[in-house]
Chains A and B, each alone.
Chain A
């Protein structure tokens, strides 16, 4: 129980649990939609989802400042690619939070003359760009890990042994692909934090893509992706070694 208390004492910890519950509810609603006799349960799940969404929006007030602070920190990174990706990602996150705060004010009736749809699209767009930059950073991280792995002596021995078994052109081409995939597998296995972050961002990407109409799926897929990325987010909080740095 002490562990649970420490975990939930972190502001992010609670938010991740509620996000998982929110997207879990969305997924369940989609799965139960066409089943008869489940209307009451669906209504309850809809209430729960909406309540979690509004509550989380309330607690996100002020996150714009945190995101700008994160952008200031990433401006000092040495690696130019990381510096660019992370700073732009954090700046877009801060804009997303700003739009989110405005949508919260609209949802509780503080602000009335406001085009809710337009601000939703703004928020989704900023979120989408932020995720793209994070994925770019992940791909760069994977590329660097693969380079490091390729220079590793033990690994090179394995590959040359593997290559010496095949001779003709087609075999060589297939072997090259196999080598690449093997390299990718080894790199990801030795860097679980990059793997986790990539999968998390890839799952999250479906949410704004659906909202913006870039790649329409359905509420079930959005719910499932949101749930998976929230669970992965909870994992990185529970085991800080899984968190990708910087």
Chain B
């Protein structure tokens, strides 16, 4: 019970829980609708989802300041690629939260005559840019680790190399073009090894990938269905809760 109290006293932790519940409702609502459940039940689940969404929007008021502070901190990173990706990601997050606050004001009735669709599209666009920058950062970290990783039988266990230490590019070896499938297999094996030995990076990559489907669907760039969006949102929320419970799983910086 002590751990629940510690967990829930963090503002972010409860918000993540409700995000998980909200997307679980999306998934459940879609599943029940497809399986022909009673319209009453589906309506209740949709109503719960809407309330969670609005409640979360309320508690996100002020998150723009948080994102701007994070962007300020990101500007002092030594690695230029990381500096760019993280700062731009946080700035886009700040814009996303600003649009989200306007949407809350519209839904709460504080601001009348608000074009909800326009502001919703805007917020998802910023959210998409932020996710793309986060994914770029993940791919950059991954490429650094793969370059650093020793190849062949001489190579000792790669698990001791944390992400922050890998800043030197290892020289590439000359390769026979006829051994392309073999090379691809080796690269995939290397990728799997690097990800296995760097759980924070793996978690962040999977989380951002899952999240990506949400704005892609809402902006019409890659339409899936509410069930899939719900599943992705639920998965990314659970991973995010994991990083709160186990802070060592959080990718730094």
Interface positions of A (Cβ within 8 A of B): 1-2, 4-5, 8-14, 18, 43-44, 47-48, 51-52, 54-55, 58-59, 62-63, 65-66, 68-69, 72, 108-110
Determine how close the nearest CB of chain A comes to the CB of B91; give it in whole angstroms. Answer: 15
Size bracket, chain B contacts? 20 to 34
Rank and list the top 5 A-B pairs by shortest CB-CB distance, nearest first.
A47-B109, A55-B58, A58-B55, A51-B108, A55-B55
Determine how close the nearest CB of chain A comes to the CB of B14; give it in whole angstroms. Answer: 6
Question: A55, B59: Cβ atoms under 8 Å?
Answer: yes
Question: A66, B8: Cβ atoms under 8 Å?
Answer: yes
Give complex CA distance A51, B110 in Å.
Answer: 10
**Smallest Cβ-Cβ distance to B57: which chain A residue:** A55
Question: B109, A66: Cβ atoms under 8 Å?
Answer: no
Determine how close the nearest CB of chain A comes to the CB of B244; give it in whole angstroms. Answer: 12
**Smallest Cβ-Cβ distance to B4: which chain A residue:** A65
Question: A110, B48: Cβ atoms under 8 Å?
Answer: yes
23 contacts between A and B (CB under 8 A): A2-B69, A5-B65, A8-B62, A8-B65, A9-B11, A10-B11, A11-B9, A11-B11, A11-B13, A11-B14, A12-B9, A14-B11, A44-B112, A47-B110, A48-B108, A54-B51, A58-B52, A58-B55, A65-B4, A65-B5, A69-B4, A109-B44, A110-B48
Any chain A CB within 8 A of the CB of B35?
no
Chain B residues within 8 Å of A43, by CB: 109
**Smallest Cβ-Cβ distance to B18: which chain A residue:** A58
Chain A residues within 8 Å of B13, by CB: 11
Give complex CA distance A154, B65 in Å.
Answer: 50
Given A8-B62, A12-B9, A14-B62, also A62-B14 (CB < 8 A): yes
Given A2-B69, A51-B108, also A65-B1 (CB < 8 A): yes
Given A55-B54, A58-B52, A110-B44, also A13-B5 (CB < 8 A): no
Question: B8, A47: Cβ atoms under 8 Å?
Answer: no
Give chain B interface residues in 98-120, CB to chain A under 8 Å: 108-110, 112
Question: A62, B4: Cβ atoms under 8 Å?
Answer: yes
Question: A51, B109: Cβ atoms under 8 Å?
Answer: yes
Question: B57-76 interface mask toward A, CB cutoff 8 Å, 1 = contact, 0 = none?
Answer: 01100100110110000000
Give complex CA distance A58, B52 in Å.
Answer: 8
Determine how close the nearest CB of chain A comes to the CB of B206; give it in whole angstroms. Answer: 25
Give complex CA distance A171, B18 in Å.
Answer: 66
Give complex CA distance A9, B110 in Å.
Answer: 24
Determine how close the nearest CB of chain A comes to the CB of B55; give it in whole angstroms. Answer: 4
Give complex CA distance A47, B111 in Å.
Answer: 10
Any chain A CB within 8 A of the CB of B161?
no
Question: A108, B48: Cβ atoms under 8 Å?
Answer: yes
Question: A1, B47: Cβ atoms under 8 Å?
Answer: no
Give complex CA distance A1, B109 in Å.
Answer: 28
Given A47-B109, A59-B14, A62-B4, also A9-B66 (CB < 8 A): yes
Question: A8, B66: Cβ atoms under 8 Å?
Answer: yes
Any chain A CB within 8 A of the CB of B10?
yes
Question: A108, B69: Cβ atoms under 8 Å?
Answer: no
Determine how close the nearest CB of chain B comes to the CB of A144; give it in whole angstroms. Answer: 28
Determine how close the nearest CB of chain A comes to the CB of B186; give it in whole angstroms. Answer: 45
Question: B59, A14: Cβ atoms under 8 Å?
Answer: yes
Question: A108, B11: Cβ atoms under 8 Å?
Answer: no
